[in-house]
Amino acid sequence: MANTSMQIVSPTTLWAVRVRSVLGGLRRAPKIPSLVLLVFMIFAAFGQWIAPYSPVAVDMAASFSPPVWHEEGSADHLLGTDKLGRDILSRLIRGARVSLSLSLFVIGLGGGVGVVLGLISGYSGGKVDAVMQRGIEVILAMPTILVALVFVFAVGRSFESVILILSPFLAARFARIVRGETLSVRERDFVAIAKVIGTPTWMILLKHILPNVFNTIIVLATLEVGHLILLESSLSFLGVGVPPPQPAWGLMVADGREFLTSAYWITLFPGLCILAAVLSLNLFGDWLRDTLDPRRRQL
Amino acid sequence: MVKYIGFRLFQALLGLWFIATLVFILSRSIGDPAEVFTARNSGVDAREIMAAKLGLDRPLHEQYLKFIGQLVRLDLGDSVSNGIPVTQILVERMPATFTLGLIALLFALAFSLPLGVLGAVYRDTPVDWVAKVMAFLGQSMPPFWLGIMLIILFAVVWGLLPPAGKGEWHSYILPGFTLGWGVMAGMVRLVRSSMLDVLDSDYVAMARAKGLPEVVVIGKHALRNALLPVLTYSSLVLGAFMNGSVVVEQVFAWPGIGTSAVQSVVRRDFPVIQGVVIVFGSFFILINLLVDIMYAVIDPRIKYTQ
């Protein structure tokens, strides 16, 4: 009787079940945020074939042309141009890649390191855990934007330096949350059994604990991408982000500041893009959390 | 208790030391430190004077001890663009940053308390939806862009408020609101969820059973108890303002510490940047320390054993 309702699920099957449930569940995802994210992802991946112009093509004759719905606007530049005559729409489309790829790199690097640290810290406990937690608290207590400001100032503006300085902050956030989850998972019976039969520690972490904290990681990653896009655009706006002429959204907002009264479109649209992307990620992440991980609604 | 506070104090000092060391390593590891500490186009003379002043010919550990020694005496060096001591610049600009943070906190509280309470009391009604939309927007909007849009609307189009700078009382409205909205988002959610918890409790049911009017039940019995987490959050938020003020001050040309940080990046004025990072970092850590200690004092359930 009990045999029919209970089966021993191998860790590999557990992964498969999880992936399948995520894919199946995606059909119930909130429609508009998913669509917006999909569009931005397509822009990021195939931007160079979608954008009508090169994002850096200067055309002084067409500088400050307004969007198409203005009288002086033309269909050549649907969302207008900036002071160098660069096409706003093309820059927005190509800017999606800057924001998304940078955030994904940071999630990959910082999040990856954070997950590993969190697993080790939570599983080993004791002194190792104590030392790692103190280190994490020190990082979390530092003002991100200012530290990034001084770091990028020192090493120079580049895509890589922004990734390098944001990653430790993200790693700390991931490590703290993954550690908390690991603490509870390691007390479960299947971990004890794995230990008894002599499974090596790395195998326990990889095959027994990681699959069980995976949902949390996915939710956290989604919400953090939004947070990172905001941080990256703030750094770009302050002039210490991705260097020009790369079309970063934050940088575009900064470019338009001088012309607020005469050419609002230079500032308005990139900000709307940031808002749309981050809002969608937050809504999507909230939905994901409620679906996958109802215990963590406070996250 | 004393042990816990002592431990947290030690941790805070460790954090300060970490920030100071990071700044030191950065300034020494990238290129010629004499060049890092002098203005961009300064000549060989200026660089040599700076090298002598920083003791760059001495071994690294001596330089480091000297640097830490100066920090302890609150000597952060002089600005390379105008020669004014960095400590003096920071002291002059501190009040503007703090007032802005305070105004932002007032804005956040003024919006999040009613929205959170009404959202919880009238759950899943239009009021609740408005609260949610405000919260989500606040979390997702880039503050620098919000500031610029507010300037366009209120200063350029309607001419109601000054676009930038610190002057009379109404010059605080736009920057305060811009800085406050992001924080308000978290607060609305917090007020709403803790109100929902409290509204389910026995003493609220009791108050209702006694036949007290709903206004008294919510205002006196429920809200009071829901406020505790909000107060804690408010103190934490001061730390978040340090981060936000860098961006918001820049947008509104606010004469605070954040603006001088960004200006000094543009001017390559390393002593000032170094000073701002160390001072902001210290405040950040100090606030976290105070919150933790407050927590421990207010809520005896918190374990002091670490």
Residues of A in contact with B250 (CB under 8 A): 237-238
Residue B236 confidence (pLDDT): 67
Tokens of residue B60, six digits: 């690294």
Higher-scoring residue by pLDDT: B157, B137? B137
Residues of A in contact with B183 (CB under 8 A): none
Higher-scoring residue by pLDDT: B106, A26? B106
CB contact under 8 A, B142 and A137: no
Say if residue A298's pLDDT is above 60: no
Q: Are the beta carbons of A287 and A30 closer than 8 angstroms?
A: yes
Q: How many Å apart are CA A214 and CA A73, to the nearest integer?
A: 50
CB contact under 8 A, A134 and B274: no
Q: Helix, strand, or coil here: A240?
A: coil
Q: Report phi then psi at A81, rounded to 5.
A: -135, 165
Higher-scoring residue by pLDDT: A279, A292? A279
Check residue B176 and report its DSSP letter: H
Say if residue B99's pLDDT is above 70: yes
Residues 11-30, chain B, touching A (beta carbon < 8 A): 11-12, 14-15, 18-19, 22-23, 26-27, 29-30
The residue among A234, A218, A189, A214 whose CA lies nearest residue A281 is A218
Q: Are the beta carbons of A162 and A232 closer than 8 angstroms?
A: yes
Mean pLDDT of B118-144: 87
Position of tokens 């040599």?
B48
Residue A81 confidence (pLDDT): 84
List, as one string, the DSSP characters of B55-124.
TTTS-HHHHHHHHHHHHHTT---B-TTT--BHHHHHHHHHHHHHHHHHHHHHHHHHHHHHHHHHHHHTTT
Average pLDDT, chain B: 80
Question: Is some CB atom of chain B closer than 8 A to the CB atom of A4?
Answer: no
Residues of B in contact with A271 (CB under 8 A): 142, 145-146, 148-149
**From the CA of A161, how many Å to the nearest CA of chain B?**
13
User: pLDDT tens across A89-130, in order?
Assistant: 989 999 898 889 999 999 999 999 999 999 999 888 888 888
- Taking CA–CA distances from A285, the nearest residue in chain B reads B136
Position of tokens 């820059």?
A91
Q: What percent of chain B has pLDDT over 90?
A: 4
Q: How many Å apart are CA B122 and CA B186, to the nearest integer?
A: 19
Distance from CA of residue A125 to its chain's centroid?
29
Residue B300 confidence (pLDDT): 59
Residues 69-128, chain A, touching B (beta carbon < 8 A): none
Report the complex ipTM. 0.82
Residues of A in contact with B146 (CB under 8 A): 271
User: pLDDT tens across A175-184, in order?
Assistant: 988 988 888 8
Sign of the dihedral through C-alpha B225, B227, B230, B235: negative
Q: How many Å apart are CA B119 and CA B128, to the nearest integer?
A: 4
Residues of B in contact with A283 (CB under 8 A): 136
Say if residue A11's pLDDT is above 70: no
Length of chain B: 306
- Identify the band that residue A286 occupies on the pLDDT scale cut at 50, 70 and 90: confident
* Domains parsed from chain B with CATH numbers: 2-72 (no CATH), 90-298 (1.10.3720.10)
Q: How many Å apart are CA A49 and CA A51, to the nearest integer?
A: 6
- Taking CA–CA distances from B33, the nearest residue in chain A reads A154
Which helix H or strand E contains A113, and what residues bound it? helix A112-124
B214: CB partners within 8 A, 6+ apart: B208
Question: Is some CB atom of chain B closer than 8 A to the CB atom of A233?
Answer: yes
Identify any residues that bridge with B85 across adjacent strands, giving them in sequence order: B78
Mean pLDDT of B104-108: 90
Mean pLDDT of A187-199: 88
Question: Is some CB atom of chain B closer than 8 A to the CB atom of A7?
Answer: no
Q: Report phi then psi at A156, rounded to 5.
A: 100, 150
Question: Is some CB atom of chain B closer than 8 A to the CB atom of A238?
Answer: yes
- Taking CA–CA distances from B182, the nearest residue in chain A reads A230
Nearest by CB to residue B265, choosing from A142, A234, A239, is: A239
| Most confident residue range from A113-122, B37-46, B205-214, B294-303 | A113-122
Say if residue B265's pLDDT is above 70: yes
Question: Is some CB atom of chain B closer than 8 A to the CB atom of A240?
Answer: yes
- Identify the band that residue B305 occupies on the pLDDT scale cut at 50, 70 and 90: very low
Nearest by CB to residue B139, choosing from A254, A271, A282, is: A282
Q: How many Å apart are CA A192 and CA B233, to the nearest integer?
A: 39
CB contact under 8 A, B148 and A278: no
Residue A275 confidence (pLDDT): 94
User: pLDDT tens across B236-249, in order?
Assistant: 677 677 778 888 99
User: pLDDT tens across A253-278, in order?
Assistant: 888 888 877 888 888 999 999 999 99
- Least-confidence region, from A165-179, A200-214, B253-267, B288-302: B288-302
The residue among A178, A159, A164 whose CA lies nearest residue A117 is A178
Exposure string over B103-133, b if 16+ CB within 10 A, otherwise e: bbbebbbebbbebbbbbbbeeeeebbeebbe
Check residue B125 and report its DSSP letter: S
- What is the value of pTM for the model shown? 0.83
Residues of B in contact with A172 (CB under 8 A): none
Residue A169 confidence (pLDDT): 92
CB contact under 8 A, A234 and B139: no
Mean pLDDT of A198-217: 87
User: pLDDT tens across B172-186, in order?
Assistant: 889 999 999 888 888
Angle between the B223-251 and A144-155 helix axes, to the nearest 10 degrees?
A: 20
Tokens of residue B144, six digits: 């620098």
Q: How many Å apart are CA A33 and CA A283, to the nearest integer?
A: 7
Residues of B in contact with A297 (CB under 8 A): 193
Residue B275 confidence (pLDDT): 84
